[in-house]
Amino acid sequence: MPFINDVLTFKSLSIVGLEKNTGKTETLNYILGRLKNMDTRIALTSIGIDGESTDIVTNTKKPEIRIYPGMIYISAEQHYLQKRIISEILDVSKIHTALGRLVIAKAINSDKVLLSGPADTQNLKALISDMEKFNVDLTIVDGALSRLSLASPAITEGMILTTGAAYSANIPVLVRKTKYVYDLINLPEVEPELKQKLDCVESGIIAIDTDNNLHDLNIKSVFMLKEAKDRAFSFGTRLFVAGATSNYLFEFLRMQKNVDTIELVVKDFSRIFATPEVYYSFIKKGGKVKVVNQTKLAAVCINPISPQGYNLSSDELKESMQEALQIPVYDVKKI
Amino acid sequence: MQLKTALTEISGLRYMIDRLDLKSSLAHRMLLASPFLISTKDVSYQLQQINRTVNEFKIEDNKSTFEKVSIKISDIRDIFGTIKNIQNRLTLNDIELFEVKSFALLSEDIRELLKPIQFLWEQLPNLAQVVEILDPEGARIPSFYISNSFSPELGKLRKKLFGLEFLLEDAEDNSASSKELQQQSDELRNKITEVEDKIRQDLSDKLYRLDSELDKALIAIGNIDILIAKAKQAISEKLVIPDVEGDATSYQGLFYPQLKATLEHDKKRYQPIDIDIYKGTCLITGANMAGKTVLLKTLALSQALCQYGFFVPATDAKIALVEQILFSIADEQSELSGLSSYASEMLKVNRIVQLGKKQKRILVLIDELARTTNPTEGRAIVSAVANILDNCNVRAVITTHYSGLSTQCRKLRVKGFMENSNDAVITIKNIGDYIDYSLIEDDGINVPHEALKIAQILGIDNDILSEAEKHLEMDKNKN
């Protein structure tokens, strides 16, 4: 049973697809099918509405999510009242969505359901921690279209990445694009002492000196860095950026003379919004990137079929992907 | 007028409401809809309820009870809409049935907890019957679904369906047997839905007979939440229960909570005021910065708090209830109406006088009447309004800077600068330390002339001050 044991070590897990139709739902169904007979209490939610029987973007048939007796699932009020499954309402959340409040229910029998969830990460985080009330061991979040931010370790402990022909129908391109996300996910963590200090910094640009002391540079955004260049490196060459980091920042850092000594620290991988080209050219010149919180990747899953009709060779894709990432990769339709 | 509206009109009221530690949105909704009470019986009842709660808080054993009750109340949902649906004989859906069940369970828990506090316990009706209807298994867990224990038939049908589904999973797609199974399953599902709907209808009918109990419980819990919050505020802000039985308005140690808190935070002195307000008009004079406007605001706030059923900010208070509080306080803007400040003030005063003439019981508070026109006519207007209101059934407090008013009404003066203040270095920061804000009876012939002294303390350009001194001298010589 591949990667199920890894999944069980987390309290919360997100399943994120690099594109729609990369096999998120199949992966979820696989995991649920494996967990149904285990002594683990599962809760399921999503970011935004999910679980439609057809994909509204591409109009292709999408597998529904099948859940099993005892599993807890979150559904919007309107969907809940149209459900087929027999389930017991445990709570009605105060969080409102376009389709009403969120209903937290426990499945009595096994059937297909429509998952819903809060539309913003703040409420999602609160909902996940609320699950403790119902003795939930593992909360699984079904991610929406390319929402990497929910895989942030600030929200879920672990993640599963799904990728496939829908993301790119050209195997080398697909592997390269996936490898980039994989590289970001695997960025090393800063040392524990620094991690503790940076965990409570929520905004701004901070210089870190060689003794791990923090100095707020009072620079409001990365776009002001140019003007404050002399100050930026007055405490050394380590910078922490609490917010999003874009191409602009990476290009600015790359162009510094001492680029090979620069170390950029970000909260977690989901804060990096640079394109692969810009990111790698910074790395190539010797720049380093670290994260405060590393995401634990449980698995990479592939779907060789795309809704446009491309049908890649599962084995070929799997092999190239494994070679690039150096970890096992699974075709969800075959496991 | 509902409290919601008063919040926007009476300054300082929002501060008090915002600081109430309400646990439920239910209580919040109810509180904002509270009416302005004008009968002695209603006000007394509200105040006595708070008083009893305050007294219960003084008993050590009750503290943890209140804490536990508050935690339970914070889980209460405002099921007002669902109760309405029951009363309108609609069939409730599963989510509504869940709401009713979890509400009834919580209400029963709160009732149990409140046993040692008899007078609160009495307000909550027994909802055991509601629980019984929605919890046939007696599990007393706040969760809900149409379980098999509501009907033996349902259990049988569901069992059959599960069997069919099991077969369906194994059957090949689109085969004849699969199609037949699918059809059977669909029929069975329809039958199950019918039975479930029947159960929902039965449950809704049974709840209809208990709708008034549910309604009573919802209101009682909201009230208990409000009472606990008001009592806690009364204790922490040192508020007092006003005596509303008599026909007197008299405060000892009256204060404006927001200002007091700000000054105390800055480690500055705050001086509470003693004041009696009789029927008729009372004119108040005093230097600038002597707290006249704050006094009027405090009187309005205190009267409003009392008649919305709160304790008041004073050490001792007697309050004669009024039908309305009417005020004209300087810092209101009227640009939008296109009227000059004089015109809008006059219209407001006109309304006050008209209501006064109808012998309405009103508290009237006017800040610096007719200040925006020439002093000769202004003085005449003040005298006129003061005289008319003096003969009405109102309690009117009017502040003014005019001297030599030809009215026989009562006059009070803010003492103003302390005697030792001449030797001290007074600045804008410490000026409050050198002003005695207390009120004394006065003949009103001479009003304080301290405007220039205060302007100097404020650091106004010396040219203005010396030029003004010159003009004062010239006026004196003319006389």
Residues A45, A48: Cα–Cα separation, whole Å:
9
Q: Look at B95 and A89 and tell me if their CB atoms are within 8 Å.
A: yes
Q: Hey, is the C-beta of B236 within 8 angstroms of any chain A C-beta?
A: no
Q: B284 and B413 in contact (C-beta within 8 Å)? A: yes
Same domain as A300, residue A261: no
Residue B206 has pLDDT above 90, yes or no: yes
What is the CATH number for A166? 3.40.50
- Cβ contacts (< 8 Å) between A77 and chain B: which residues? 95
How would you class B274 by CB atoms within 10 Å of its CB: exposed for 0-12, middle for 13-18, buried for 19 or more?
A: middle
Q: Give Cβ neighbours of residue A84 (< 8 Å, ≥ 6 apart).
A: A111, A112, B189
Task: Tell if the CB–CB gap between B98 and A109 is shorter than 8 Å.
Answer: no
Question: Amino acid identity, residue A108?
Answer: I
- pLDDT(B205) > 70: yes
| Weakest-pLDDT range from A45-54, A90-99, B66-75, B186-195 | A45-54
CB contact under 8 A, A88 and B145: yes
Q: Count of A–B CB contacts within 8 Å?
A: 37
Say if residue A282 is in the same domain as residue A321. Answer: no
Query: What pLDDT is recorded for position A146?
Result: 52
Is residue A54 helix, strand or coil?
strand
Instruction: Output the pLDDT for position A145.
Output: 52
Q: Which domains does chain B have, with CATH numbers?
A: 20-145+206-231 (1.10.1420), 240-448 (3.40.50.300), 449-479 (no CATH)
pLDDT at B228: 96
List the single residue in B98, B145, B146 with the smallest CB-CB distance to A92: B98
Q: Which residues of B touch A109 (CB under 8 A)?
A: 158, 162
Residue A50: its pLDDT value, please?
47
> How high is the pLDDT of residue B102?
95
Least confident piece of the model among B144-153, B254-263, B415-424: B415-424
CB of B157 closer than 8 Å to CB of B195: yes
Q: Is A263 on the interface with B (CB under 8 A)?
A: no
- Same domain membership, residue A285 and residue A239: yes
Average the pLDDT over B370-376 and give the result: 85
Please check whether residue B302 is in contact with residue B292, taking contact to mean a CB–CB distance below 8 angstroms.
no
Q: Nearest Cα to A140, choosing from A52, A46, A232, A54?
A: A46
Whether residues A138 and A243 share a domain: the answer is: no
Contact between B113 and B65 under an 8 Å Cβ cutoff? The reply is yes
- A43 and A130 both lie in a single domain: yes
- Please indicate, yes or no, whether residues A169 and A199 belong to a single structural domain of this protein: no
State whether A106 and B143 contact (CB < 8 Å).
yes
The better pLDDT of the pair B242, B421 is held by B242
Chain-wide mean pLDDT for chain A? 86
pLDDT band at A52 (very low <50, low <70, confident <90, very high): very low
Query: Which tens digit of pLDDT belongs to each residue from B289-301?
Result: 788 889 999 999 9
Question: In this structure, is the dihedral angle defined by the CA atoms of residues B290, B291, B295 and B296, taken in order, positive or negative?
Answer: positive
> How far does the CA of residue B75 sit from the closest CA of chain A (Å)?
10
**What per-residue confidence (pLDDT) applies to A49?**
52
A91: closest chain B residue by CA: B143
ipTM surpassing 0.90: no
Q: What 3-state class would DSSP assign to B380?
A: helix
Nearest to A21 by CA among A151, A167, A176: A167
Q: Which helix (H) or strand (E) holds A156?
A: none
Residues of A in contact with B145 (CB under 8 A): 86-89, 105, 108
pLDDT value, residue A51: 42
Place of tokens 């419980």: B217
Nearest alpha carbon to residue B414 among B242, B284, B219: B284
Least confident segment among A16-25, A247-256, B301-310: A16-25
Contacts of B78 in chain A (CB under 8 A): none
**Cβ atoms of residues B313 and B302 within 8 Å:** yes
Least confident of A166-170, A288-292, B55-59, B196-200: A166-170
Cβ(A27)–Cβ(A301) below 8 Å: yes
pLDDT tens track for B21-66: 999 999 999 999 999 999 999 999 999 999 999 999 999 989 999 9
Which amino acid belongs to residue B268?
K
Q: DSSP character for B479?
A: -
In this structure, the answer to whether residues A19 and A88 fall within a common structural domain is yes
Q: Do B143 and A80 touch (CB under 8 A)?
A: no
The whole-number average pLDDT for the span A172-196 is 92
Both A14 and A76 in a single domain?
Answer: yes
CB contact under 8 A, A88 and B147: yes
Q: pLDDT tens, B64-87?
A: 999 999 999 999 999 999 999 999
Q: CB atoms < 10 A from the CB of B447, how many?
A: 19
| Largest distance between two CA atoms of chain A | 65
What average pLDDT score do residues B90-117 get?
Answer: 95
Contacts of A72 in chain B (CB under 8 A): none
Pairing verdict, β A12-17 and A158-164 = parallel
Q: What does the pLDDT average to over B390-414?
A: 87
A52 and A143, same structural domain?
yes
Residue B230 tokens read as 């008001």
Q: Between residues 76 and 115 of chain B, which touch chain A (CB distance below 8 Å)?
A: 77, 93-95, 98-99
pLDDT band at A53 (very low <50, low <70, confident <90, very high): very low
Tell whether B160 lies on the interface with A, counting CB pairs under 8 A. Answer: no
| Residue A284 scores a pLDDT above 50 | yes
Chain A residue nearest residue B25, CA to CA: A94
Q: What's the rounded Cα separation, in Å, for the pair B450 and B289?
A: 10
- Residue B187 reports pLDDT greater than 70: yes
Which pLDDT belongs to residue A201? 85
Helices (H), B59-151: 60-74, 80-87, 94-113, 118-121, 128-134
The model's pTM is 0.82
Dihedral (C-alpha) B210, B216, B222, B225: value to the nearest 10 degrees? -100
Domain count, chain A: 2
pLDDT of residue B121: 95
Token pair for residue A274? Answer: 């640079």
Residues of A in contact with B99 (CB under 8 A): 92
Q: Choose, out of A89, A94, A116, the residue to mutate when testing the contact with B (most B CBs < 10 Å).
A: A89
Enter the tokens of residue B331.
């810092």
Rg (CA), chain A: 21
Does A80 touch chain B if contact means CB atoms closer than 8 Å? Answer: yes
Query: Could you tell me if A99 and A21 lie in one domain?
Result: yes
- Mean pLDDT score, B224-248: 95
Question: A237: domain CATH number?
Answer: 3.40.140
Kindly identify which residue of chain A lies nearest to residue B99, measuring between CA atoms.
A92
Percent of chain A with pLDDT over 70: 92
CB contact under 8 A, A84 and B158: no
Residue B260: C-alpha distances to residues B17, B255, B267, B466 (Å): 16, 7, 10, 36
pLDDT greater than 90 at residue B156? yes
More confident residue, A294 or B331: A294
Phi, psi for B201 (deg, rounded to 5):
-65, -45
B95 vs A81: CB contact, 8 Å cut-off?
A: yes
* Shared-domain flag, residues A91 and A171: yes
A99 and A116 in one domain? yes
Residues of chain B positioned with their CB less than 8 A from the CB of A86: 145-146, 158
* Residues B402, B403, B409, B415, CA torsion sign: positive
In the numeric block, which tokens belong to residue B28?
């919040």
Nearest Cα of chain A lies from the Cα of B100 at a distance, in angstroms, of 12
**Cβ pair A89:B143 closer than 8 A:** yes
The band of A99, judged by pLDDT with boundaries at 50, 70 and 90, is confident
Residue B185 structure tokens: 């399953």
First to last CA, chain A: 8
CA dist., res. A312 & res. B358, Å (int): 91
Least trusted range by pLDDT, from A35-39, A263-267, B151-155: A35-39
Contact assessment for residue A99 and residue B111, using Cβ atoms and an 8 Å cutoff:
no
B-chain CB neighbours of A90 within 8 Å are 142-143
pLDDT of residue A220: 77
Q: Which residues pair with A141 in a beta bridge?
A: A14, A45
What percentage of residues in chain A have a pLDDT greater than 90? 38
Set of chain B residues whose Cβ sits within 8 Å of the Cβ of A101: 95
Strands of the sheet containing A263-266, edge to edge, are: A214-216, A205-208, A238-241, A263-266, A288-291
Q: Could you tell me the end-to-end alpha-carbon distance of chain B, in angstroms, rounded to an integer?
A: 52
Q: Which one, of A297, A302, A305, A300, lies nearest residue A328 by Cα?
A: A300
- Section B368-397 average pLDDT: 89
Tell me the residue range of the domain where A326 lies: 4-186+295-331
**What whole-number distance in Å separates Cα of residue B158 and Cα of residue A108?**
11
**A92 and B99: CB-CB below 8 Å?**
yes
Token pair for B199: 């159960």
Eight-class DSSP state of B263: H
Helix (H, G, I), strand (E, B) or coil at A177: helix
- Contact: A92, B189; criterion CB under 8 Å: no
CA–CA gap between residue A35 and residue A7 (Å, rounded) = 10
Contact state of A89 with B98 under an 8 Å Cβ cutoff? yes
Cβ separation B189–A84 shorter than 8 A = yes
Tokens of A163: 């990728």
Compute the distance between CA of residue A47 and CA of residue A150 in angstroms, rounded to an integer.
8
Please report where in the chains the tokens 């002695």 appear, as a residue: B40
- Do A90 and B145 count as a contact with CB atoms less than 8 A apart? no
Chain B residues with CB-CB distance to A106 below 8 A: 143
Q: What is the mean pLDDT of residues B84-111?
A: 95
